[in-house]
Amino acid sequence: MKNLAEAAVTVDEAARTATAIPQFEGENSFSVDEAYAVQAMSIARRLDRGEKRVGVKMGLTSRAKMIQVGVDEVIWGRLTDDMRVEEGGSISMADYVHPRVEPEVAFLMGAPLSGDVSNLEAMAAVEAVAPALEIIDSRYKDFKFALGDVVADNSSSSGFVVGDWRAPDIDFSNLGIVLSADGRPVQIGSSAAILGNPVRSLVAAARMVARWGETLEPGWIVLAGGATAAHPLAAGMTVRSETQDLGTVGFSVAD
């Protein structure tokens, strides 16, 4: 029998120390359910160290992202306060293995949400929306992994930056997004790339967390997923994302 608890220690230590690990292959590979169990146990270790749960990230929600990693299934991961980067702040390359960044739309929950819900019910639970950036980082050597590896590794989530919140009365279903690095556009896309409409990602989040006995709690942040392919980060880089009608958000890479 696979030792899922041992695997959780492995992926948690890889993230904590920014150390690359081999892909879980052969008899050590995970089914998707096993991978989510590993993810849950690895995040529990973080909470035991004093981190606090602050939300959920959705992944593989754009066609560009699915093509980039070679899979076609929406996934989710867990966010903690230690993963949050201040808007306009900086990160260190030393804290990551293969860091990349992608532009997103973030939801701030105002009411609990879980299970099968409609778009209207999902939005009724939203207090605010904002432009966001997610820093993703696969801890696997040579960027080699299968879907189970990604899910076990907290769906590659490593950090996130959220811009100014605004009332969710805007039509954010098809907003233009430009991701720039050092002032140069490197990815151009639309919020429509997130499952056709970011609210569908929120609906999926409510459904998927319910399978693990969770609820999207008031005050939690839900990252809807990348609107474009992810862009590699490098020391000294300044990153900025501008979303039509929502605003801008950014950070820098110190070293």
Instruction: Give residue 26's identity as a one-letter amino acid code.
Output: G
> What is the phi-psi region of residue 249: left when phi exceeds 0, alpha when psi lies from -120 to 50, beta otherwise?
beta
Dihedral sign of CA atoms 35, 36, 42, 45 in order = negative
Domain harbouring 30, CATH code: 3.90.850.10
pTM of the model: 0.94
Q: Which residues form the domain of 160?
A: 4-253
The tally of domains found in the chain comes to: 1
**pLDDT number for residue 26:** 86
**pLDDT number for residue 69:** 63
The string of DSSP letters for 220-250 reads -EEE---SS--EE--TT-EEEEEETTTEEEE
pLDDT in tens, 57-90: 999 887 766 676 666 678 999 999 999 999 999 9
**pLDDT number for residue 2:** 76
**pLDDT number for residue 43:** 97
Name, in order, each residue with C-beta under 8 angstroms of 110's C-beta and a sequence gap of 6 or more.
125, 126, 127, 128, 218
Spell out, as residue ranges, where the chain has pLDDT lower than 50.
Answer: 1
**pLDDT number for residue 1:** 46
